Amino acid sequence: MKHYFIILLLIPCSLIIYGQEDSLIYYLRTAAENSPAVKAAFHSYEAALQKVPQMGAWQDPQLEMGFFLEPMDLVDGREIAQFQLMQMFPWFGTQKAARTEAQQMAKMAFEAFREAKDNLYLEIYTQWYLLCTLQQKLQNSETNRQLLKQVESLAVQRFASGGSDRNAMSGEREKPQTTAQTTPNSNGMAGMNMGANSQLSTLDSQLSTSTMNMSGGTSSAMSEILRIQLEVMDLDNSIASLQSEIAAEKARFNLLLNRPIDSKVQIPSELIMNDLLLDESSSMSLIQAQNPMLGMLHHESLAYEAQADMNRKMGYPMFGIGLQYMLIGKSPEQPSTGHGTPTMNEMNGQDMIMPMVSLSIPLYRNKYRAAQKESRLLKQASEEKFQDTFNRLQADFIRLKHELNDERRKIELFKKQQDLAQTTYELVLQEFASGKSDLSAVIQVQRQLLNYQLNTAESIAAYNTKIANIQKLISQ
């Protein structure tokens, strides 16, 4: 009842997880159910299971029938036909060894099925984190485009205020309200928060109005506006390229799930780091115990061991039990012996039944000894391949663990640099708004901020992908 209660508690949780179509677990389950490669591996396993009853079955009995064209005269009758039925039996334990070999081969096929499923899961993980990276890059590019539009609005204000100062110096005084309105706007813009969530509208109307007042003192401000527009155009091209790449990668992701390429794929807006919960010693033990490649080699070794046992017992005699039936017709009546009546033997025309026993003599021993030696050598080869594969998996785990630590350090570094770049960008933007800095410094810091954001997303995706590789080694 306790187990039933736990199952009832888990059912709603599983329904919630599998019901979320934007969940990675949902996509993994869909891929495992729909993948042709996984289905093919599972059908191969089912086919291997059918070998077990075949290897454990008895040999078919042999029935021999013979008919005489002319009945053969016997002492007490005439033989018409013979029927012989024989059933052969191998040496004791031969069939058990054959079944054991077939069972181990079926377990190898099951491990191959697990390996196909793990490979599919790794592809899903890799493609999923690639989509998350591209989505994060797209969001960062769109945010930085908003920041550039914000800088453009500041440049337009500087251009407009520059044109007003130029007219004031030439004696063409304007109303005091114009200058009084310009300064607060500039100070207010410099004091605003320049974070990633800021969204300011462009000032194209101010740009078109101020272009009419452009003179020598405002030519630099106009060039700044044009440079910003060039940067925006580059970002627009990058955004379009990312959108196209995301569409292509979504189609590939749907193909991994074996569903239409235009199916909807929900990508999370935030890329979160996973965590490896196992230590190195536990991971090594789990790799040795659960890795499908090692499992295949282990069962292959056991299969060759059973094969060697079967080949050894095949060198022993086989025996058979049978029955022979002779169809006897009556012979003609014998002439009289002098008493006036013919004589007739009681056995005349009586059918004969004869039990039989057969024995095979394995006289030529070389082939049996060679078969046993072949199985032993193949078993040794499997054991050596097991050790070599385990060493390679250990080396892969150590390499992935090193790369994992390296990626973690990179993520921490990029996050710190991103925070510093964000602060620097806000300061430089304030200086640009107050005229203490030029546009080159703003664009340079803005590019650094974008690069740190993209590097952070790529490092988190690489970190999660390496976690997935370690999970594949463990087959978790």
Q: Which amino acid is at 116?
A: A
Give the tens place of pLDDT for each residue, 226-244. 888 898 999 999 999 999 9
Distance CA 201, CA 199 (A): 7
Tell the burial category of 363 from Cβ atoms under 10 Å away from its Cβ (0-12, 13-18, 19+). Answer: exposed
Between residues 144 and 186, the one the model is more confident about: 144
Give the tens place of pLDDT for each residue, 337-369. 555 445 556 677 788 899 999 999 998 889 999
Between residues 71 and 109, the one the model is more confident about: 109
Which of 85-94, 169-178, 337-346: highest mean pLDDT? 85-94
Domain 35-331+348-474 has CATH 1.20.960.40: no
Q: Which residues pair with 66 in a beta bridge?
A: 82
User: Chain centroid to CA 416: how far?
Assistant: 34
Cβ–Cβ under 8 Å, residues 289 and 49: no
Domain segments of the chain: what residues? 1-29, 35-331+348-474
H/E stretch holding 32 reads helix 24-34
Q: Token pair of 28, please? A: 């993994």
Mean pLDDT of 211-216: 38
Between residues 425 and 203, the one the model is more confident about: 425
User: What pLDDT was estimated at residue 344?
Assistant: 55
The answer, yes or no, to whether residue 199 has pLDDT greater than 60, is: no
User: Chain centroid to CA 97: how far?
Assistant: 36
Helix axis angle, 366-433 to 176-190, nearest 10°: 150
User: What pLDDT was estimated at residue 169?
Assistant: 38
